[in-house]
Amino acid sequence: MTNTLELTVNGTVRLLQHPGERTLLDVLRDELGLKGAKYGCGKAQCGACTVLIDGSPARACMLRAKRAVGHDVTTLEGLADPVTGALSLVQRAFLECEGAQCGYCLNGMVMTAAALLRNNPSPTREDIRAALRHNLCRCGTHLEIIASVERAAELMRGAQHD
């Protein structure tokens, strides 16, 4: 069965023809060409597929695309400035602090950090660890990831004073 869905992705309304049971991850990657969210485990356990739905982290690998109708979906690509393409402060902090080695977990870490910092501009290390606890990093760069989130918080607080 094929139907039309209207999804708001990165601030743009998209009309999509797709089989009703496709996952949001499949639609984002295959139909919209947004490759930031990764297929990791297919069981919503690793965090590689994390997107923001109305500002909260969600696992796109298990979420049916039709469940995102009426909600704002933000992908890794949507964090950057839509006009200039400049990376968000969270993305810049991860690059500056070398927050990933292979990069496979990076999407989930960045998206989860963006959501955390939107709600808590001055998180403690425990807040950061708690927010990221469901995101797996197989390379073991957890210290760099935590430092990246701390740096992003600093940059964001500094930007508020400019």
Higher local confidence (pLDDT), 51 or 142: 51
Distance CA 100, CA 142 (A): 9
Which pLDDT value is given to residue 162?
61
Higher local confidence (pLDDT), 19 or 73: 73
Per-residue pLDDT tens over the stretch 145-158: 999 999 999 999 98
pLDDT beyond 70 at 1: no
Name the band, by pLDDT with cuts 50, 70 and 90, for residue 144: very high
Per-residue pLDDT tens over the stretch 95-111: 999 998 888 899 999 99
Higher local confidence (pLDDT), 84 or 142: 84
Per-residue pLDDT tens over the stretch 109-137: 999 999 999 999 999 999 999 999 999 98
Cα dist from 148 to 23, 76, 143, 144, 145, whole Å: 30, 16, 9, 6, 5
Which pLDDT value is given to residue 18?
62
Q: Which residue has the tokens 């949507």?
A: 78
Which pLDDT value is given to residue 139?
84
Q: Which residue has the tokens 């930007």?
A: 159
Per-residue pLDDT tens over the stretch 12-57: 999 998 667 899 999 999 999 999 999 999 999 999 999 999 999 9
Distance CA 87, CA 80 (A): 4
Domains and CATH numbers, the chain: 2-79 (3.10.20.30), 89-161 (1.10.150.120)
